[in-house]
Amino acid sequence: MESSQAIKFPQSQPHHQPLKYQKRFHVAQICLRILSIATALAATWVILTSKQHLVIFGIPFDARYSYSSAFKFFAFANVAASAFSLLSLLYLLIVPANYFLLFLHDLFTMSLLLAGCAAATAVGYIGRYGNEHIGWMAICEQFGKFCNKVTASVILSYLSFLCLLVLTIISASRSRQFHA
């Protein structure tokens, strides 16, 4: 093969696709972003309102999200993911889509949210099951309401993460398409 010959792969270009497909794609992007915002905000609200007070043998005990740095980071990650997703939604509605910028934005937001989910999952697991090897007791038998709210918040946050994962994949695939 001569050096002047190049292998050309067919590229699916958005401006050659039917308008109906482009509109559906745009609506799907908007819906996924709205769903991501809604689930991250719901997760934030649930974690911020998770608290329980108990008195055991006359001694008061409290469980709050603010007592754990992992849960504080989790709450921050959800707030940030909501804000960043709102910014990307506004960007998508106002500016003609630059999918490479959306890809970078979605990847950053998804990574931040995943880090928060991982931190909350780790601490929640120890709270629910304990760790006998190092002497950490499970607290969820005593603080069931608190643990259930934290679990619900983490599930909502993982749903937001899944939306962002799909958006990241979509943006990555669209950013590879060249515009002539």
Could you report the per-residue pLDDT of 165-174, keeping only the tens digit for each?
Answer: 999 998 888 8
Q: Please tell me which residue, 90 or 3, carries the higher pLDDT value.
A: 90
For the chain, give the mean pLDDT: 85
> pLDDT class for 2, splitting at 50, 70, 90?
low
What three-state secondary structure class fits 138? coil
Is the CB of residue 51 less than 8 Å from the CB of residue 78? no
Q: Please tell me which residue, 63 or 105, carries the higher pLDDT value.
A: 105
Distance from C-alpha of 78 to C-alpha of 163, rounded to nearest angstrom: 13
pLDDT reading at 5 higher than 70:
no
Is the CB of residue 35 less than 8 Å from the CB of residue 163? yes
How would you label 70-100 residue by residue, b for 16+ Cβ within 10 Å and e otherwise?
bbbbbbebbbbbbebbbebbeebeeeebbbe
- Give the model's pLDDT for residue 177: 66
Distance from C-alpha of 73 to C-alpha of 151, rounded to nearest angstrom: 15
> What tokens does 71 get?
């849960």
pLDDT reading at 31 higher than 50:
yes
What digits encode the pLDDT tens for the residues 146-169?
889 999 999 999 999 999 999 999
Burial of 128: CB neighbours in 10 Å, binned 0-12, 13-18, 19+: middle
Choose among 110, 45, 47: nearest CA to 84: 110
Among 39-48, 141-150, 156-165, the range scoring the smallest mean pLDDT is: 141-150
- Give the model's pLDDT for residue 67: 79
> pLDDT class for 63, splitting at 50, 70, 90?
confident
The helix (H) or strand (E) run that includes residue 166 is helix 144-175
- What percent of the chain is predicted at pLDDT more than 90? 46
Choose among 96, 112, 104: nearest CA to 40: 112
116-131 mean pLDDT: 91
- Give the model's pLDDT for residue 19: 74
Q: Please compute Rg for the chain using Cα positions.
A: 22
**Could you identify the residue written with the tokens 């069931």?**
144
Q: Residue 117, Cβ neighbours under 10 Å: how many?
A: 22
Q: Residue 46, Cβ neighbours under 10 Å: how many?
A: 22
pLDDT reading at 103 higher than 60:
yes
- Give the model's pLDDT for residue 163: 96
Distance from C-alpha of 143 to C-alpha of 163, rounded to nearest angstrom: 31
